[in-house]
Structure 1
Amino acid sequence: MPQVDLSFLPSKLHPVTLQALSRLTSELTTSQPQGLAGLLATSDYATELLTADASLLAHLAKENRLTPRLNLADYTLWCQQALSNENGQLPTDEASLQARLRQFRRAVMLRLLWRDSQFTDQPQQVWQTAAEITALAEVTTEAALAWLEDFYAPAWGKPYPRGTSLTQAESQEVQPLRLVVLGMGKLGAGELNLSSDIDLIFGFESQGETLGGKRSFDNQEYFTRIGQKLIALLDKVTADGFVFRVDMRLRPYGDAGALALSFNALLDYYQQQGRDWERYAMIKARVIAGNKQAGETLLDELRPFVYRKYLDFSAIEALRAMKAMINREVRRKSLENNIKLGLGGIREVEFIAQVFQLIRGGRDTELQERSVRKVLPIISSLGLMPEEASQELLTAYEFLRNLEHALQGLADKQTQTLPEDDESQARIAWRCGFTDWQALYEHLQQTKQQVRQHFDAVIADPDEEQPEPTQIDEALACLWSEQADPALTLEAFQQAGFKQAQASMQVLQTLYSSRAVANMQQIGRERLNQLMPQVLMAVATTQNPDAALERTLWLVEAVLRRTAYLVLLTENPEALKQLVTICAASPWLAEQLAKMPILLDELLSPETLYSPANKSSLQDELRQHLSRIPEEDIEALMEALRYFRHANVLRVAASDLVAQRHLMKVSDYLTYIAEVLLEQVLNQTLRDLTQRYGRPRLSNGELSKGVPADNGFIIVGYGKLGGIELGYGSDLDLVFIHDGHPTLASDGEKNLDSVTWFSRLGQRIIHFLATATPSGQLYEVDMRLRPSGNAGLLVSSLKAFADYQTNQAWTWEHQALVRARVVAGDTLLTEAFNQLRASILSQPRDLKKLREDVITMREKMRANLGSKPGEQELFHVKQDAGGLVDIEFMVQYLVLAYSHKHPELYEHTDNMRILDALAATGVLPQAKVECLQEAYLIYRKTTHHAALEKAGTFLPAEPWVAYRQQVTQLWQELLLND
């Protein structure tokens, strides 16, 4: 074993490094001992590679692979040699190719780790390392794709444009198409990290079919299959590891979208549905494999989507919103030590550069540059930023990226988080050219502060000037103190408008003297002392300061051990103002915030807090939110879905209470949230089940496509969900229907018959929705409206559902069908369900029998759920006579009674539009319809606000007498009079 001088390393690393050296064979004596020690000191992964194959480093030295620089051509040649045998032949099966690709990657990684360990005093060398990792990604992707095309050509043929004949293909008159592989993110910029994943998008020129194989496929199917095989060759973890982790979530529609899309489909998507964050992502898009010429044409056509011809200052708001979203994620996951996402980190440098690109790139075409380090000097050369600032950012970016390489090279993990143990810290410090961790950490903090200052100057919102405090404010500010005089405290509360000053003073004193406050650490207590005077001044501005104080203190008490939230409110007076406003308006919302303080992040943006998103915006927001979560982390995914729901319900409720949003809009927004979440849950469960069991066979014998729009499965919403009338605490009434083949099995290695497959799908959907996580359930689910109720199958075939509805269903089940609609799933199955629903609802009925059934069911409900005898002074808004359910039953009765004459009656599922249809068809006079609509809206608004105010649904009866009389009179006319 070579004698190695380790005096240049931190002393505590000596035994670690020596122990690693002792496991290697004498073959390493051909390498420089000093360099070897540095390599092992900076990378456990290198030690792992050499322990598995002690000759690997020696072989690299012998082949002259340890030179300072290799370019793309060098890597192309090296890859060809690594994949071929001694006769120059490529592997003949996928397993062998997988092994050689991974072995090649291990050799390259050892070269790069060796190289990095030799240049610890030159941070700029990070760009050579990044370029070589990018070259590795390009050559392995291209080699794997070319091999797959040739390997599967005999079986699948090769893809050609529509209209190409076999003769033209065989004569090479027309060339076959190739997959176009777009590299996104750091791959597109040519700046991959040591342990990056690669973000890809797959495209192909045009539709058509394959020719010359044993079997022909349409081009969509062929390129999807090739794409799946390509991902497996790169991403699959085998005994030899992996080549690159592959992430396809940046493609149109994310996980729900097709794996490969034609150019026309890509262009249509970005032109019609592309979001701001996708403009940001497409800045770095580059063709890295496949048909590069065609890919460049595609990128040229996409350029107007990315770079506007005008000065697009809206990009600042878009990037600011994206950064705010990341900041919330940082706080939520405690990622302050993450050098990429944390304040002053890598992402902020990238945002600074890209805001100029998105604003001015259409006019100043020099800015259309993928690399951040290359675009920063261009920005200053155009006079958009001082040259000094540009240079400071570039220096900071080089340092941060070099530190990122060091973190990832230690164990070949995709991490940007600083280590906490002394040993790792010392090794990282040495790798980055610092004498110790303290020196590196101090330099890092200075760098982050510098980046943050530049970020604030370009992107962050300007600080708002706060008004001078009044005398009352100053008096209130003194109340959170041990020395506060009780008499003066009471007087201050009274002067500030507290109507129950004594009780409010006691509430404040109880918290001040509580054990929870007494047990706070010093820094936490200091933060609380800084916040509480602001709280008192803020609650004094509300109409009901007593309630506002008590409810706001629920949250303060809930976050005493998570003082970052105290800082958030202290440093963001506007957020504190929104919190107090919401707490004053609704005890329910105050409770939700106290249970989930993470929702405080939503208060930072009043423009979104009081402006709920429409459905397409919700879909886009959720897609971005989930794109940062590993697909295999189901727990994190479930938490993310729950946070999304709570955050958006908070926005709706705030809009409802503070901005006086119309009732119908409130229900629309709450329904949109549920629909978007159901779509995502269906996407996730479909993907999981397909990966495990393959795709099921549909009733026509064909395989499901495995995407929500063509999967043979639908989720039908009943009740308030179906009627687009969800409230704040509504559960979801759901029915699952499938189009699976009754006997044929799925196509997975471990397959299931299709009926069982879809049954498992339904079970998993329920699991996603109803499982209690730390954030609670996503939704409470009621499946009792399915055929035969709780005794029936969880998932029914459409045929079985039709048979039940036609031959066995009770009248109340047909009533329920009035408000049923498909909220997610297969397009063709949705059409079939709608036709079935129409045929059931439009059947002629015996009106006398129908009235009897409706009355009987209604009387049962009143007896079980309404007011009891002796409670005449109370009115149950929903269940008592003349209440909400009476109106719903009358509407359902009329739809069932007259739809055979007026198909317009079953076109809609919400009561307001059905009532409009009843008036339009003359089934009910316009005056009576307006009477019912007025009562219905006021009843629903009352139940909404009762939920927010936690008031229950029993109200004093006297104010409702007139409405009840009108509704009861109509009930009498329609159902009781012959």
Structure 2
Amino acid sequence: MSGARELNYVSDVDVIFVGGSADEDTVSESQAVEIATRLAIQTMRGISEVEIEPPLWEVDPNLRPEGKQGALVRTLDSHIAYYDRWAKSWEFQALLKARPLAGDVQLGEEYVDAVQPMVWASAARENFVESVQKMRERVTDHIPPAEVARQLKLGPGGIRDVEFTVQLLQLVHGATDDRIRERSTLDALDALVSEGYIGREDASRFALDYRRLRVMEHRLQLRELRRTHLMPEDGAALRTLARSSRIGDGGDRVVAVWEEIKREVREIHVRLFYRPLLSAVAALPADEQTLSPEAARARLAAIGFRDPAGALRHIGALTSGLSRKAVIQRHLMPVMIRWFADGVDPDYGLLAFRRISERLGNTPWFLRMLRDSSGAAESLTRLLSGSRYVGELMEWIPESIAWLDSPDQLRPRPGFVLQEEARAIQTRHASIDDAMSAVRALRRRELLRLAMAAVVGELSIEELAEGLTTVTEVTIQATLRAVRREVVPAEDDRLDFSVIAMGRFGGSELGFGSDADIIHVFDANGVPAQRAQELALQLVQGVRRYSEDHRLPLELDAGLRPEGRNGPLVRSLESYAEYYRRWSLSWEAQALLRARGVAGSVTLIDRFLALADDLRYPVAPDPQGLREIRRIKARVESERLPQGQDRSRHLKLGPGGLSDVEWLVQLIQLEHAHRVPGLRTTSTIAALEAAVEAELIPRDAAEKLAAAWRLASRLRSANTLLSGQTSDVLPTDRGRLDGIGRLLKYPARSATIVEEDWMRAARQARRVFEKLFYG
């Protein structure tokens, strides 16, 4: 404290003694140290011992090398040797405030000049940041439990929280920036603000709270001229402190102010002191903490950028200029470049970051969050270098970066919340075009939220599928409401119309890039038949038209309707009943196993599903129909796989893929769902579990099928996230395989492991399938 000129009224004075011989021919080095030691002892006694006058201060020399066990006086060379070989990180932190105080000024300056380079290089020591953080925690741990809440200096939210935070920021960033090398806490805080290392608001609050804490500390010590940092407990002492600190007249007021300061200081301390960026900056090699133009291109190429010249242009565009934004970007870039380089596609990641930065312009929260947040900057680099799907969407919705500051923001939003928002959108917008533009924006936003959570969060494949299904349902429901309001006049409002989900949509099993399989049904309900048919067709066409999104297509596929692509797009409930009674095929009963109402008239949905139940859960399964399903499955395997495609890499139609698992489960449902209620579900995994419970399939066989199904689903979504394009084929390119693996939380360079895991799971699932499906 004395070095920074921050003494209290009753402070101890921290000193280090250095001595030596100016002329070794006259006085040897050892004699000089002996004389200097006696001089130091007498000086301390003169200052701190009780004589006729009371002691002035307590002199504390325990910050010297080796502490209390070390020599009281060392030569300059001895100090340097110790700091060079043996010093701990906290000792360099203590030297941050060192300045010559008394005695030989030249020797004092030589000492400071010698240790300063070591101080500013100390952050490069292994685990430096973590060691300083642990030191602060140890200080708190050594406070007697009864005193923790009263400690003005050492406790949580106290003076040390401010000082340790400022000092750590100085030591980490001061290695390359001499403009923040200040001894005084407040001067250092001002410098950190000026150079962009701390936000103005945080620094202003920190500085004010630090001043108020120091004033209260001074007033406490003045009362009885004794060294204390404990808030008093009795009312009289609290009232005295309140009045002397000009906080008010009552003890309750000073306690309230103290608690407010503690909360504020602790919140800023935790956010800045444990900032992940600090460890990353400290871990950078010294020559990478500044991006020198001469070496930058070669370095970028060496760490993984395929287009170092392009990367250099992006860095220049982000960091050039004198604006505060450019200053903060210059602090972020060295670390973020390393993080980008650790990703799958660093070139795209950096390009996307530049575009997003330009889209956000001078938005104040963006760079501040990346600098101060717990892990937001690293998460953003993972997202942008690991997923083009995310990067392209984030360019359109750059404010989504704020979600990285809160794990809750990356959780899938409940369907009822999205429904309320969609309804509010339609209330606010008079025209269908404006309303649907806002609904499409809602869908893009929620798909981006799910994609970000899938990359940096811990979403299970079931949570992801449910989230994607919910977003699709809400979009279709909102679109149908808007179109119906536009198309159906009041006199025809009796018309009932519904959308039925089919396939993976019906099973709530969507992945990124999945189509939404649907069919449409209407009931005239008193509207003339021809008019009802025309209105229903207009509703279908309107829903398809207004759900189209060129930025993020929503493919509504009605191919599972009766007669397939040759049948009408919409039928009345009576037409469905007649068709299914007279002409339905086995594959249509199979398709209805995943039929589920998602939009429109609830009454009509219930009636349609009751009709479907008679087909999909038959009392007496038709053996011929079951044989036909087996025959169709074999034909699908031979005819629908693309020519020249490696069958084993097709995640949907290949051996052990999604189709194998789903067709086997559906065959079991057609055979047994009438007598096993648990099989009456649109979910593949739920039906598989019900089959195990009913002893229709062995547990170990079901586990192999479920494992392959889940892995195939995850690989498909990861493939889309990585490339931004939908594909059912596991790529052969090792880089893409590695990228898919990282999205699935495999370690880097796991392409072979990803491939082997899939091949193993598919083989096991195929063996089970062949045994149970074909018999």
Pairwise TM-score range, normalised by the shorter structure: 0.5 to 0.7
| Aligned position for 2:536 | 758
Amino acid at match of 2:308: M
1:622 aligns to 2:422 (yes or no)? yes
Alignment partner of 2:561 out of 786, 794, 797? 786
Amino acid at match of 2:391: A
Amino acid at match of 2:384: C
Q: Distance in 2 between matches of 1:679 and 1:462?
A: 45
Amino acid at match of 1:813: E
Q: Distance in 1 between matches of 2:688 and 2:404?
A: 41
SS of alignment partner, residue 753 of structure 1: helix
> Any idea what the Cα deviations from partners look like across 1:558-591, whole Å, max 9, x if unmatched?
4576452776533432465542232244233123
SS of alignment partner, residue 572 of structure 1: helix
* Pair 1:566–1:650, CA change in 2 (3 A): same
> Any idea what the Cα deviations from partners look like across 1:171-205, whole Å, max 9, x if unmatched?
xxxxxxxxxxxxxxxxxxxxxxxxxxxxxxxxxxx
Check the 8 A contact 1:735/1:795 in 2, yes or no: yes
1:681 to partner: Cα distance: 1.4
Check the 8 A contact 2:340/2:381 in 1, yes or no: no
1:620 to partner: Cα distance: 3.0
1:837 aligns to 2:635 (yes or no)? no
* Pair 1:754–1:927, CA change in 2 (3 A): same
| Aligned position for 2:392 | 591
1:555 to partner: Cα distance: 2.0
| Aligned position for 2:455 | 657
| Aligned position for 2:352 | 555
1:967 aligns to 2:742 (yes or no)? no
Q: Distance in 2 between matches of 1:541 and 1:609?
A: 26
* Pair 1:560–1:598, CA change in 2 (3 A): closer
Alignment partner of 2:684 out of 898, 903, 911? 911
| Aligned position for 1:230 | none
* Pair 1:958–1:766, CA change in 2 (3 A): same
1:679 to partner: Cα distance: 1.7
> Any idea what the Cα deviations from partners look like across 1:101-138, whole Å, max 9, x if unmatched?
xxxxxxxxxxxxxxxxxxxxxxxxxxxxxxxxxxxxxx
Between 1 and 2, higher relative CO (CA 8 Å, sep ≥ 6) is seen in: 2
1:666 aligns to 2:666 (yes or no)? no
Alignment partner of 2:581 out of 795, 806, 811? 806
| Aligned position for 1:155 | none
Alignment partner of 2:295 out of 466, 487, 496? 487
SS of alignment partner, residue 612 of structure 1: coil
Gap regions ≥5 residues in structure 1:
1-456, 697-702, 705-710, 746-751
Check the 8 A contact 1:718/1:734 in 2, yes or no: yes
Check the 8 A contact 2:651/2:716 in 1, yes or no: yes
| Aligned position for 1:499 | 303
* Pair 1:975–1:550, CA change in 2 (3 A): same
Q: Distance in 2 between matches of 1:599 and 1:504?
A: 28
| Aligned position for 1:737 | 521
| Aligned position for 2:705 | 932
Q: Distance in 2 between matches of 1:975 and 1:563?
A: 55
| Aligned position for 1:901 | 675
Amino acid at match of 1:781: L
Q: Distance in 2 between matches of 1:806 and 1:924?
A: 31
1:631 aligns to 2:430 (yes or no)? yes
SS of alignment partner, residue 500 of structure 2: strand
SS of alignment partner, residue 284 of structure 2: helix
| Aligned position for 2:201 | none
| Aligned position for 2:409 | 609
Q: Distance in 1 between matches of 2:620 and 2:453?
A: 44
Q: Distance in 1 between matches of 2:402 and 2:574?
A: 46
Amino acid at match of 2:528: L
1:503 to partner: Cα distance: 3.6
> Any idea what the Cα deviations from partners look like across 1:367-394, whole Å, max 9, x if unmatched?
xxxxxxxxxxxxxxxxxxxxxxxxxxxx
Larger radius of gyration: 2
* Pair 1:888–1:488, CA change in 2 (3 A): closer
1:829 to partner: Cα distance: 1.1
Amino acid at match of 1:756: E
* Pair 1:870–1:610, CA change in 2 (3 A): closer
> Any idea what the Cα deviations from partners look like across 1:408-456, whole Å, max 9, x if unmatched?
xxxxxxxxxxxxxxxxxxxxxxxxxxxxxxxxxxxxxxxxxxxxxxxxx
| Aligned position for 2:366 | 569
1:642 aligns to 2:443 (yes or no)? no
Q: Distance in 2 between matches of 1:553 and 1:599?
A: 18
Check the 8 A contact 1:842/1:899 in 2, yes or no: yes
> Any idea what the Cα deviations from partners look like across 1:596-654, whole Å, max 9, x if unmatched?
24453653653443222121222234345555x4222x333222212211211222222
| Aligned position for 2:53 | none
> Any idea what the Cα deviations from partners look like across 1:150-180, whole Å, max 9, x if unmatched?
xxxxxxxxxxxxxxxxxxxxxxxxxxxxxxx
1:819 to partner: Cα distance: 0.9
> Any idea what the Cα deviations from partners look like across 1:304-330, whole Å, max 9, x if unmatched?
xxxxxxxxxxxxxxxxxxxxxxxxxxx
Check the 8 A contact 2:426/2:435 in 1, yes or no: yes
Alignment partner of 2:665 out of 884, 891, 912? 891
Amino acid at match of 2:539: L
- Equivalent residue runs for 1:351-500 within 5 Å: 465=272, 470=282, 472=284, 478-479=290-291, 484-487=292-295, 490=298, 499-500=303-304
1:853 to partner: Cα distance: 1.9
1:508 aligns to 2:311 (yes or no)? yes
1:659 to partner: Cα distance: 2.0
Check the 8 A contact 1:931/1:966 in 2, yes or no: yes
Q: Distance in 1 between matches of 2:610 and 2:379?
A: 48
| Aligned position for 1:715 | 499
Identity fraction in percent: 21
Alignment partner of 2:714 out of 941, 952, 956? 941
Q: Output the TM-score relative to the length of structure 1.
A: 0.44
Q: Distance in 2 between matches of 1:934 and 1:604?
A: 31
Q: Distance in 2 between matches of 1:630 and 1:601?
A: 27
Check the 8 A contact 1:625/1:640 in 2, yes or no: yes
| Aligned position for 1:708 | none
Check the 8 A contact 1:609/1:654 in 2, yes or no: no
Q: Distance in 1 between matches of 2:486 and 2:324?
A: 45
Q: Distance in 2 between matches of 1:638 and 1:473?
A: 52
Check the 8 A contact 2:692/2:699 in 1, yes or no: yes
Amino acid at match of 1:878: K
Check the 8 A contact 1:476/1:533 in 2, yes or no: no
* Pair 1:630–1:565, CA change in 2 (3 A): farther
1:582 aligns to 2:386 (yes or no)? no
Q: Distance in 2 between matches of 1:552 and 1:959?
A: 28
Q: Distance in 2 between matches of 1:971 and 1:911?
A: 14
Q: Distance in 1 between matches of 2:287 and 2:621?
A: 75
Check the 8 A contact 2:454/2:464 in 1, yes or no: yes
1:670 to partner: Cα distance: 1.0
Amino acid at match of 1:636: D
Q: Distance in 2 between matches of 1:887 and 1:930?
A: 11
SS of alignment partner, residue 954 of structure 1: coil
* Pair 1:597–1:901, CA change in 2 (3 A): closer
SS of alignment partner, residue 725 of structure 1: coil
RMSD: 3.6
SS of alignment partner, residue 649 of structure 2: strand
Alignment partner of 2:333 out of 524, 536, 558? 536
